[in-house]
Chains A and B, each alone.
Chain A
Amino acid sequence: MNNTTEIFVNGLWRDNPVFRQILGLCITLAITNRVVNGVTMGVAVFFVLVASSFIVSVIGEYVPRRVRIPVYMLIIATFVTLVYMFLRAYFTGLSQALGAYVGLIITNCIILGRLESFSSENGPWESVVDAAGISAGFAAALIAMSVVRELLGFGTLFGINVLGSGWTPWVSMILAPGGFLVLGLLVWIERSISPVEEG
């Protein structure tokens, strides 16, 4: 069971998809202006990644190598469609806030990268644990980004006023530049704590 924890922690911190591997940036930058969006997207990606990792680890060896990418994309697209329909049905407001970005989970390179490099070569249990670790790492990154941006941009957290009425919101934090700057600074902090080995 030691191995299981190791795979999970790897995904969460050492191989963190956003800060370490610099993947899945579109979603990370686009929807993190509110914490609620970050949490929702984290959960959605968790579901899609775990489910498609499981499927790929089971059927992986039967898929011819030449067509594997389209096959993986189809599996991912199926689960993303499920998420989209679920959000539309039960969380209409959130679904509108996330807009086209729910669909863009399909082209999130984190998911395809994990399927390609891990699930296709490992058993179902390891794949699911790896997927859970990676998506927990992704969710953590989304939440870290959105806490900073919502706090500075609106003065709120989960829509609740935290900084009081004297706070002047930093509008640029919720606009595009804020996303880039916060991500740049967080990458800087993360890499100062645990430096990247030369590669």
Chain B
Amino acid sequence: MKLLSILIAAIFAHNIALRYFLGWCPLVSQSKKLSSAWGMGVAVTLVMTVTSVLNWPIYHYLLVPFGLEYLQYIAFIIVIASSVQVLEMAIERFFPSLYTTMGVFLPLITVNCAILGVSLFMILRDYTFLTGLVYALGSGIGWTVAIISLASIREKLRFAKVPKPLQGPGITMLIAGIMAFAFLGFSGMVGIE
């Protein structure tokens, strides 16, 4: 039950993109087309889950026993950079068709702050391994929901007459603001603590 509420909270009420502002560089640049939004969303969910599964034991069984908590940033970023690399090679080798659609997004993910952010939040909030896993999965899905809704809205806006200086990032931010208002409505539904 607790796991389920964490999952729902991570997707809606505590949406990683619209509540904690994480992963906005790709959200702005990759939300022009719905197809690339899907690719990016799936890739982020995958990497987020894999890296938090790896980072949890590294923090609790390697860094904490030796009193090396201050190395967490360096350790996490190594894990993220290398698992993205491995994942890219694995997908290229075993799922070539998937690679052609998703491959271009993978290198971008190393610098996606949502990935590192989820690992850091997981440590900061003292999650157990299972809770951390569910939280990472939920955050990935939540991020995907955000980028897909944003891309759908932007596709509809293509023929609208947006003032020139507001085109692109400006209007995207205003849309995001309105979406954030909508997601604020979920906060009464379920908490994360």
Contact = CB atoms under 8 A, between A and B. Distances in A.
B57 interface: no
9 contacts: A70-B82, A74-B77, A103-B73, A104-B113, A107-B77, A107-B111, A175-B180, A184-B173, A192-B165
Contacts, number: 135
Given A100-B121, A112-B111, A179-B21, A22 B70 contact: no
Given A26-B23, A180-B173, A70 B28 contact: no
B184 interface: yes
Give 7 closest A-B pairs by Cβ, nearest first: A184-B173, A180-B177, A191-B165, A25-B24, A181-B177, A29-B21, A184-B174
Interface residues of A, number: 45
A118 interface: no
Interface of A: 22-26, 29-30, 69-70, 73-74, 77-78, 80-81, 84-85, 99-100, 103-104, 106-109, 112, 172, 175-181, 183-185, 187-192, 195-196
A132 to B, nearest CB: 22
Given A69-B110, A104-B116, A107-B113, A191 B81 contact: no
A26 B170 contact: no
Contacts of A74: 74, 77-78
B77 A176 contact: no
Contacts of B19: 176
B43 interface: no
Interface string B155-193: 000000001111011111110111011011000000000
B5 interface: no
A29 B24 contact: yes
Contact of B181 (A103, A172, A191): A172
Interface of B: 18-25, 28-29, 70-74, 77-78, 81-82, 107, 110-117, 120-121, 124, 163-166, 168-174, 176-178, 180-181, 183-184
Given A181-B177, A192-B165, A78 B74 contact: yes
B180 A180 contact: yes
Contacts of A189: 165
Contacts of B173: 180-181, 183-184, 187
B77 A106 contact: yes
A70 B83 CA distance: 11
In this complex, the member of B74, B169, B176 whose beta carbon has the largest number of chain A beta carbons within 10 angstroms is B169
A149 B155 CA distance: 30
A31 to B, nearest CB: 9
A185 B168 CA distance: 12
Contact of A106 (B28, B116, B169, B170): B116
A191 B170 contact: yes
A188 B178 CA distance: 16
Contacts of A77: 73-74, 77
A99 B124 contact: yes
Given A25-B25, A106-B116, A73 B81 contact: yes
A30 B22 CA distance: 8
Given A26-B25, A84-B70, A104-B22, 15 more contacts: A26-B21, A26-B114, A73-B81, A74-B74, A74-B77, A107-B112, A107-B117, A172-B184, A176-B184, A177-B178, A180-B180, A187-B173, A188-B163, A190-B165, A195-B164
A108 B113 contact: yes
Given A25-B24, A25-B28, A80-B73, A180 B110 contact: no
B135 to A, nearest CB: 13
